[in-house]
Structure 1
């Protein structure tokens, strides 16, 4: 798929190439293509790194079959004189004969890896040929055991002139476990919120958010200092939804404008002043309600901020309740049940419900969550069944047919 956004004021175009690929069937280690709808919803100029100052072209390759075809598309994108942003989601393997890294494609199997996967050195060669400083590569990859040894041994470089961000993780363990491109999904969520932080901050936020939602997996991070294991997480929507010229995100490297309340609210929450943070966010929501009306994106923004503040305050029941409300508002705005933002709200509500230690409160919130989960099943298989099973256990425990759960 090719998307072009044109700005005639600047002839230097930018290009974004989105490559998401993984083998079909049992060889799949990551659901790479699941990130494409979220990235496709980001404005083309943001993906291409031109931020409205120049034309922007987005090229999307979803589970391509032939490495030569992929190379041709990469070569064409690399030949463009403007900035190039390459987004890679997929899995890495090592061929048996030459012991070289390859990015698996849709028809890749171990016995035909050399002919059905994209050799990493092909990609590196195209990137190294570009003018230094014009290329950015964002990785969200998993590596099997042999590939992981090469990755951690430093055999993943794309040249000194290429900026690299993102993560490579060891392949998930256990039978039939398939990873998701958590870093790229977090990046897309931040951009779709209206935030435009500088690239290092963007990827730092995405790394922490991914670690918070999916846990630590020993991933190797690029362009990010670290993803702390248990530090407080950034708010899911760290900057306000633009509502006019005065609400535009700050320029890269600039301090947030004094009118932006988000940094102070987040600082208060991280300092443990949860009541003050919640009150400030609630006041912002009230102001948005008066200015933009119920159901507006501005009101929805602050509702979701309050939901995440409740999580940071370790009040999972309140967080669950607010996330359910956010999901209902989004559905009321005619967003579909498979919209990533709707699914995300329901998934967060479900996750927070599972953290509730007060069995009575969990039972109280469960019926509404079950109704919502039936409407928005999400992408995790069996989520509704798991929810109903735990609810049954809560009722059985209340009736005295199950022993009380041990204290953690």
Structure 2
């Protein structure tokens, strides 16, 4: 089965640039796709200094739903948004004041990769952080979700008026250019050794090393920090949005296999069964129930049932808001954004009209990150009113 490789390198234009991220892409592009992916054949997607978070999301979503192994090579810098203090991957137009709207939220990566078969996804990252983000990471380690092996390093900010080089990723790419692809753990250690040799004279704190936990597949920063929760939610804190990895891995693997084989009803039935079990054990509104409901919403999307997906995401968003989660919490915004996206794909005008008012009401409470979202709903609803 062919693999998929996503090469993503970005950094802000101007004085906010901490690392010359795109300089590593020619070296990575010179590596044979089969070596990058570890499969006989592979599709390689390259994103060089993208401008819009939605463009990155579209490519990531396509890569996440492709069958076969997925390998991501991500180079750039991390910054915090000023409202929620969540790490974002800076893009070409990102400035400290516009992180929330022009950078790519890091937690979107875990969200998009959550339904992939365990053991098939690897993310290799060479990241630099500004001073505020560097301090934040000391208490909030970076993750890529429970089923993604995360390797790499996060470097502290370089000296003022200095643009750093992506030495870790360049070292990894140079090793791979030989045509030999060692296991990722070995590649990681070799790249760290080469990068530390190049940067021996660099002042400042030691890098944060990203390496997966062998027992669970979780990734963590450093060797002493536990995994961080995927989302930051204001009080009152709900239960975890995902059950323990050990209890869901088998079901997720079965669901993924069913989807890839086109057995969408079977996948939906598995998720519905787990949701009912969570409902009996943990009660309505629990994190476990919400997790399986989110899985069902995604499965409806994969099956091409936009109406069912939209209805489910609307329910999830309302449940989270009624539980006291703020309108700008990532899980709430994501639910409304996905409901909005699926609503636009409903082909039956009457069914779309039925769901439009509920979506518009939610958009009043959850405007999201993209300007004009409520206006778009209202305009499209007006158009639907004229259709039979």
Q: Give TM-score scaled by structure 1 length.
A: 0.50
Q: Secondary structure at the match of 2:15?
A: helix
Q: Give, in angstroms, the shift of residue 164 of structure 1.
A: 0.9
Match of 1:200 in 2: 185
Query: Structure 2 residue aligned with 1:87, among 41, 61, 73?
Result: 73
Structure 1, unmatched stretches of 5+, are: 1-11, 228-408
Match of 2:216 in 1: none
Matches within 5 A, 1:117-132: 117-132=103-118
Structure 2, unmatched stretches of 5+, are: 214-220, 223-388
Query: Structure 2 residue aligned with 1:191, among 171, 176, 191?
Result: 176
Partner deviation per Cα, 1:191-234 (whole Å, 9 max, x = no partner): 1123332211111111001101122651111239999xxxxxxx
Match of 1:220 in 2: 208
Q: Secondary structure at the match of 2:206?
A: coil
Q: Give, in angstroms, the shift of residue 128 of structure 1.
A: 2.1
**Conserved? CA contact 1:38–1:188, under 8 Å:** yes
Of the structure 1 ranges 144-153 and 111-120, higher mean CA displacement relative to structure 2 is found in 144-153
Matches within 5 A, 1:350-361: none
Distance 1:46 1:189 in 2: 12
Match of 2:23 in 1: 34
| Residue 18 (1) aligns with residue 7 (2) | yes
Q: Secondary structure at the match of 2:108?
A: helix
Match of 1:106 in 2: 92
Query: Which aligned segments of 4 or more residues in structure 1 are displaced greater than 6 angstroms?
Result: 224-227
Query: Structure 1 residue aligned with 2:161, among 176, 179, 198?
Result: 176
Distance 1:199 1:155 in 2: 20
Q: Give TM-score scaled by structure 2 length.
A: 0.52
TM-align CA RMSD: 1.9
Distance 2:149 2:15 in 1: 33
Distance 2:21 2:113 in 1: 22
**Conserved? CA contact 2:4–2:37, under 8 Å:** yes
Matches within 5 A, 1:303-382: none
Q: Give, in angstroms, the shift of residue 161 of structure 1.
A: 1.0
1:224 to 1:121, Cα distance in 2 relative to 1, 3 A: closer
Q: Secondary structure at the match of 2:97?
A: helix
Match of 1:139 in 2: 125
Aligned length: 212
Partner deviation per Cα, 1:63-87 (whole Å, 9 max, x = no partner): 0000011101000000112100011
Q: Considering only CA atoms, is the larger Rg found in Structure 1 or Structure 2?
A: 1
Distance 1:205 1:113 in 2: 33
Partner deviation per Cα, 1:27-79 (whole Å, 9 max, x = no partner): 100000000000000000111221x2xx3000000000000111010000001
Distance 1:224 1:161 in 2: 10
Match of 2:135 in 1: 149
